[in-house]
Amino acid sequence: MNTQNKTFFIETFGCQMNFHDSEKVVGTLISQGYRQVQSVDEADLIFYNTCSIRDKAEQKVFHRLADYKKLQEQGKKFAVIGCVAQQEGENIFERAPHVSLVAGSASYRNLPEMLVQIESGSRATGLDDRQTDETFETEFTARTNPHRGYITIIEGCDKFCAYCVVPYTRGKERSRTSDSVLAEARKMADAGYTDIQLLGQNVNSYRDAAGKKSFAELLTAVGEIPGIRRVRFTTSHPRDFTRDIVDAIDTVPTLCDHVHLPVQSGSSRVLASMYREYTREQYLERIGWMKSTRSRTISLTTDIIVGFPGETEADFEHTLSLIDTVHYDGIFSFKYSARPNTPALKYIDSISEEEKSRRLAILNERQREIQRANYAKHIGHIMEVMVEGYNEARGQVIGRTSQNKTLNFTCGTSPLPKPGSYVNVLVTKSYPNSLVGELASNQ
């Protein structure tokens, strides 16, 4: 590798945490003298940041690595990081000998040392740190959005849900100190960031490593930093979702009025089989807290799995009745698929793919009608949006509300607002997944 002009390309798949991990990996590489390029052809070192949540994720990784093999003759090196890297481990070297580095997310803090190893011609691994108490904190994060930024406050997962591979790929839960989180948030505010999202596999399971602040207190403190206008957080676990989080949203204007609270199933029997550690009734109690706020209307979204082993038609009806009760503004719905190392592998998956698809279609259609009604309620209201960009084909500005809803709007004869700015928009039309409006006349 040409150490005078080291270049890298990174491709990222998966959740927001993966994309933020990549921002930190990119910053680390740049701090080590590498230069980011926008194509595989230009790169000396090719990073593939992987996700193992979906079915056959590892097969897709190996197919991609097979495609990359022909580039080895050009002197390129390859690195596989993320969840599939941790899941497959050194098996990646066996099936793709041209790979030089394999590392799970718990080892990212050791990247500088691993880079030195592969530059010298050796292989490097970061697969033994899942029990670490350390988090990946770096001052070199290369943020891709100049207005909205992410801060990981807790890494790993201790929940061990029966269907989920995350505890086996990202290690145990480990939280940063509130002081370090607030220092990063202040630095971002000073740099012009106004929208901050706190991240974690189970973000509300946060336990201040220094014992100073609860998660709700940390939320409030970030929301009170001068210059910050919006604070979001994802993803929450119902077991650790406490009333004080709702109280904070209700009283601190900068905390966004949107909560993503994955339920996975509306059946307490299936939830127990999933090892979710709460019942339908306990989940609905938390929904009740959010629906009883005094000054805010909290938008609710969730994750749902259909066709989990043993899910009966009655269990599925419980899920349908749950979405009828909650009236979510959005759901992320999936058919169950077995993942490596998970407890559900020992269950009998007797539900056919056709039946899973049928249930998923019914769920999505029911939810679509709920969203159609929910979004229509905004017509005639003025909502504040953060400008994200422009849709030139439609002549619209793209905006996002505090409730995390897309609101596209026109400006008439007014000049186009800049990305990152905040404007008020009158909602004139609705769709199941977005709103349409026009710039309010009081701008």
Which domain covers residue 48, as residue numbers? Answer: 6-126
Alpha-carbon distance of 227 to 309, in angstroms, equals 48
What is the model's pTM? 0.90
Give tens-digit pLDDT for 325-362: 999 999 999 999 998 889 999 999 989 999 999 999 99
pLDDT of 413 reads 80
pLDDT of 206 > 60? The answer is: yes
Query: Is 215 found in the same domain as 103?
Result: no
User: Tokens representing 18?
Assistant: 């993966």
pLDDT at 238 over 80: yes
Q: What pairs with residue 199 in β-bridges?
A: 152, 234
Same domain for 281 and 348, yes or no, is yes
Tens digit of each residue's pLDDT (9 = 90 or more) over 382-427: 999 999 999 999 999 999 999 999 999 999 888 999 999 999 999 9
In this structure, what token pair is assigned to residue 277?
């550690």
In a domain, 140, yes or no: no
User: Is the separation of the CB atoms in 30 and 142 below 8 Å?
Assistant: yes
Question: Could you tell me if residue 133 is inside a domain?
Answer: no
If one counts every other C-beta atom within 10 angstroms of the C-beta of residue 351, the result is 19
Residue 239 counted as domain residue: yes
- Note whether 72 and 205 are same-domain residues: no
Q: What is the CATH number of the domain that holds 88?
A: 3.40.50.12160
What is the predicted pLDDT for the residue at 2? 47
Region 42-48: mean pLDDT is 94
d(CA 88, CA 94): 10
212 and 232 together in one domain:
yes
Is residue 102 domain-shared with residue 23, that is, in the same domain? yes
pLDDT over threshold 90, residue 97: yes
Residues 229, 145: Cα–Cα separation, whole Å: 16
Q: What are phi and psi of 264, to 5 degrees?
A: 75, -40
Task: Establish if 367 belongs to a structural domain.
Answer: yes
Query: Is the per-residue pLDDT at 112 higher than 90?
Result: yes
Does 244 score more than 80 pLDDT?
yes
Q: Are residues 309 and 418 in the same domain?
A: no
Considering the domain architecture, whether residues 240 and 307 belong to the same structural domain is answered as yes
Find the CATH number of the domain harbouring 301: 3.80.30.20
* Beta strands across the sheet bearing 124-126: 34-36, 6-12, 45-50, 77-82, 99-103, 124-126
In angstroms, the CA 99 to CA 92 distance is: 8
* pLDDT the model gives residue 373: 98
Residue 7, preceding bond cis, omega within 30 degrees?
no
Contact 177, 208 (CB under 8 A): yes
Give the pLDDT of residue 4: 54
Residue for token pair 């997310």: 105
Rg (CA), the chain: 23
- Domain contains 138: no
User: Do 97 and 116 lie in a common domain?
Assistant: yes
Contacts with 329 (C-beta within 8 Å, 6 or more apart), sequence order: 258, 299, 300, 301, 371, 374, 375, 403, 405
Count of domains observed in the chain: 3
Inform me whether the pLDDT recorded for 1 exceeds 60. Answer: no
Whether residue 136 is contained in a domain is answered as no
Q: In DSSP terms, which residues pair with 150 in a beta bridge?
A: 197
SS3 125: strand
152 in a structural domain:
yes
> Which residues, 6 or more positions from 46, have their beta carbon under 8 angstroms from its beta carbon?
8, 9, 10, 11, 40, 68, 71, 76, 77, 78, 79
Q: 314 with 254, same domain?
A: yes
Do 105 and 153 lie in a common domain? Answer: no
Residue 392 belongs to some domain of the structure: yes
**Mean pLDDT value of segment 159-173:** 91
> Which residue pairs, CB below 8 angstroms and at least 24 apart, start in 127-131?
127/85, 127/86, 127/89, 127/90, 127/102, 127/103, 129/104, 129/171, 130/86, 130/104, 130/106, 130/156, 130/168, 130/170, 130/171, 130/172, 131/171, 131/172
Q: Are residues 198 and 248 part of one domain?
A: yes
Reply yes or no on whether the pLDDT at 217 is more than 70.
yes
CA neighbours within 13 Å on the CB side: how many for 360? 18
Mean pLDDT, the chain, as a whole number? 93
Same domain, 188 and 267: yes
Q: For position 144, what pLDDT does the model report?
A: 86
- Whether residue 375 contacts residue 430, with contact meaning beta carbons closer than 8 Å, is answered with yes
> Average pLDDT in the 31-58 region?
89
